Amino acid sequence: MKVLIVGSGGREHAIAAAVAKSPKVDKIYCAPGNAGIGQIAECVDIGAMEYDCLVDFAKEKEIDLTVVGMDDPLVGGIVDKFEEAGLRVFGPRKNAAILEGSKAFSKDLMKKYNIPTAGYEKFDSPEAAMEYLETSKYPIVLKADGLALGKGVLICETKEQAMDGVKELMLDKKFGDAGNTIVVEEFMTGREVSVLSYVDGKTIKIMTSAQDHKRAKDGDQGLNTGGMGTFSPSPYYTEDVDEFCQKYIYQPTVDAMAAEGRPFTGIIFFGLMLTDDGPKVLEYNARFGDPEAQVVLPRMKNDIIDVFEACIDGKLDDIVLEFEDNAAVCVVLASDGYPVSYEKGFEIKGLEQFEDKDGYYVFHAGTALKDGKIVTNGGRVLGVTAKGDDLHQARANAYEATKLIDFDNKYMRTDIGKEL
Ligand code: AMP
Ligand code: GLY
């Protein structure tokens, strides 16, 4: 069969690598893709938001299955466009992707269906938000309602910071219309865990757990980034935690979406915080995490095509998800200066050493082909993933493997998975 993947980051490279392992797949296209994806798929120069062009392309090439990796096109309704054209596509429709697309929607849903999450209020006027913040307890969390590249969340230690935050989100419109409505949320403390799941509208199957390191510098210092590295599984995701979440969070979320007339098909990513009062939902995403996919998918034993098809056909109940009894660590190699400013266009050396190296992967995030050479083309450049018998071993293997790669301005955190 022919598969089209929509997106261009490390996550889409990890999806493409999983798809390439399926004996059912003869040909993979990726729009727009990147230099690494181009080694296992044919990259097509169509942007992820160009729905009509993507539909035309899928028809012309007789694509059997399209997989959408990114949040923006999902929230924008790409799946509806493909379905209207009679094409098979994996991902939530627009009315379900709102689970990620609107924090106000997801908070209201959790409240209505008693799914554990932080207490909150939502505001569509800056004056009302500021009045509320006059008498709030600090720290407090402000969230832009809409998509903001993962940057629309402000943790405010003081009233002054919160007032500035309201100004930034609602008046200065730092994230555009995403800040027309904001959610003001109780600050929670605890361990964070990412849990990805497959959903077919009614059934949900959980993948192995993972954890992201979002800050740019060692010791969780520095600015928030798209993610500087991940590990899987999370040792904090115990059987007790799993049992609680299965009962009070996962299935209740899927049932709530169905009850609202918004059946969810695709990936639900649960961002959880393990608080003293039990696990609570920090956020939902409607797609694989990046760089969570880079440590979760290499450990999955199933043929990913079978799982995607089961979700689309409402037959996920028939699938037994299986993960390897090991661990994986992904260390992101970035351009020094990320996430603020950085140079691009440097040649990347050593990539060939990952070919046929069992248990090691180099997923491309920001790379490009220039004069036949692979060069840096973004803040996050590569995700070096290695497996090991346990997290300790996986971590040692991943850091050893980062030494195989060289480019000017190479920067990485040295403590991914360290405290484990
Ligand atoms: P989100 O995009 O909603 O996951 O938020 C980004 C990050 O902000 C999370 O990974 C947490 O580290 C932090 N965060 C979000 N909401 C809260 C909260 N209510 N309390 C404490 N930290 C939070
Ligand atoms: N790693 C967090 C995300 O993909 O949103």
CA separation, residue 129 to residues 282, 304, 307, 324 (Å): 20, 45, 44, 47
CA–centroid distance, 77 to ligand 2, in Å, is 20
Q: Is 289 in the pocket of ligand 2 (CB under 6 A)?
A: yes
Question: What is the C-alpha to C-alpha distance for residues 66 and 2, in angstroms, rounded to an integer?
Answer: 9
Residue owning the nearest CA to atom 3 of ligand 2: 289
Running along the chain, 420 residues long, what does each successive block of 10 average in pLDDT? Answer: 97 98 98 96 98 98 98 98 98 98 97 98 96 96 91 93 96 93 97 97 98 95 93 97 98 98 98 98 97 98 98 98 98 96 97 93 96 95 98 98 98 91
Q: How far is the CA of 153 from the centre of ligand 1 (A)?
A: 7
DSSP 172: S
Look-up: residue for tokens 């994230």? 175
**Which atom of ligand 2 is nearest the CA belonging to 283?**
5
Closest-approaching ligand to the CA atom of 284: 1
pLDDT of residue 150: 73
Quick one: which atom of ligand 1 is closest to the CA of 150? 2
For residue 147, the ligand closest to its alpha carbon is: 1
**Ligand 2 centroid to residue 291 C-alpha, Å:** 7
Residue 334 and residue 375 in contact, taking contact as beta carbons nearer than 8 Å:
no
Tokens at 28, concatenated: 């993979």
Reported for 31-34, long-range contacts at CB under 8 A and 24+ positions apart, including other chains, are 31/4, 31/5, 31/6, 31/57, 32/8, 33/5, 33/8, 34/8, 34/9, 34/364, 34/365, 34/366, 34/367, 34/368, 34/377
Ligand 1 centroid to 154 CA: how many Å?
8
What angle separates helix 251-259 from helix 103-112, to the nearest 10 degrees? Answer: 100
Closest approach atom of ligand 1 to CA 214 = 10
Work out which ligand 2 atom sits closest to the CA atom of 287. 4
Hey, which of 100, 192, 212 would you mutate to test ligand 2's pocket, going by the most ligand atoms within 8 Å of its Cβ?
Answer: 212
Give the pLDDT score at 36: 96
Cβ–ligand 2 distance for 292 under 6 Å, the answer yes
User: According to the model, what pLDDT value does residue 249 have?
Assistant: 98
- Residue 335 contacts residue 359 (beta carbons within 8 Å): no
Helix (H) or strand (E) holding 210: strand 204-212
**Residue 387 contacts residue 327 (beta carbons within 8 Å):** yes
AA identity, residue 299 = R
Query: Using CA positions, which residue lies closest to atom 1 of ligand 1?
Result: 283
407 C-alpha vs ligand 2 centroid, how far in Å? 25
Collapse the DSSP code of 420 into the 3-class scheme (helix H, G, I; strand E, B; otherwise coil) and give the result. coil
Residue 263 backbone phi and psi in degrees, to 5: -55, 135
SS3 300: strand
Which residues neighbour 303 within 8 Å (Cβ) at sequence distance 6 or greater?
21, 22, 23, 24
SS3 content of the chain, % helix, strand, coil (to 5): 35, 30, 35
* Residue 76 pLDDT: 97
pLDDT at residue 393 in the model: 97
Residue 226 pLDDT: 87
State the Cα angle at 342 between 336 and 346, rounded to 5°. 80
Residue with the nearest Cα to atom 14 of ligand 1? Answer: 282
| CA atoms of 166 and 179, how far apart (whole Å) | 9
Count the Cβ atoms, other than its own, within 10 Å of residue 318. Answer: 10
pLDDT at 165: 96
Dihedral over Cα of 215, 341, 143, 7: its sign: negative
E strands of 256-403, at which residues? Answer: 265-275, 278-285, 327-335, 360-364, 367-370, 373-376, 380-388
285 in contact with ligand 2, CB cutoff 6 A: yes
What is the best residue among 283, 284, 290 to mutate for testing ligand 1's pocket, by most ligand atoms within 8 Å of CB? 283
**Residue-wise DSSP of 265-285:** EEEEEEEEEEETTEEEEEEEE
Q: How far is CA 399 from CA 206, 325, 395, in A?
A: 28, 21, 6
What is the predicted pLDDT for the residue at 224? 86
Any atom of ligand 2 within 6 Å of the Cβ of 150: yes
Ligand 1: residues with CB < 6 A are 118, 141, 143, 150, 153, 155, 185-188, 192, 271, 282-283
CB of 230 sitting under 6 A from ligand 2: no
C-alpha closest to that of 101 among 79, 83, 81, 84: 79
The most distant pair of C-alpha atoms in the chain lies apart, rounded to whole Å, by 61
Contact 34, 367 (CB under 8 A): yes
Q: Where are the beta strands (DSSP E) in 225-310?
A: 229-232, 265-275, 278-285
The ligand 1 atom at the shortest distance from the C-alpha of residue 187 is 20
Q: Output the CA 223–ligand 1 centroid distance in Å.
A: 14
Tokens linked to 261: 């007339």
Eight-state DSSP code of residue 318: G
Q: Atom 4 in ligand 2: which residue has the minimum CA distance?
A: 289
Residue owning the nearest CA to atom 5 of ligand 2: 289
Helices (H) and strands (E) in the chain, counts: 13, 22
Ligand 1: nearest atom to the Cα of 103: 3
For the four alpha carbons of 368, 372, 374 and 377, in that order, the dihedral sign comes to: negative
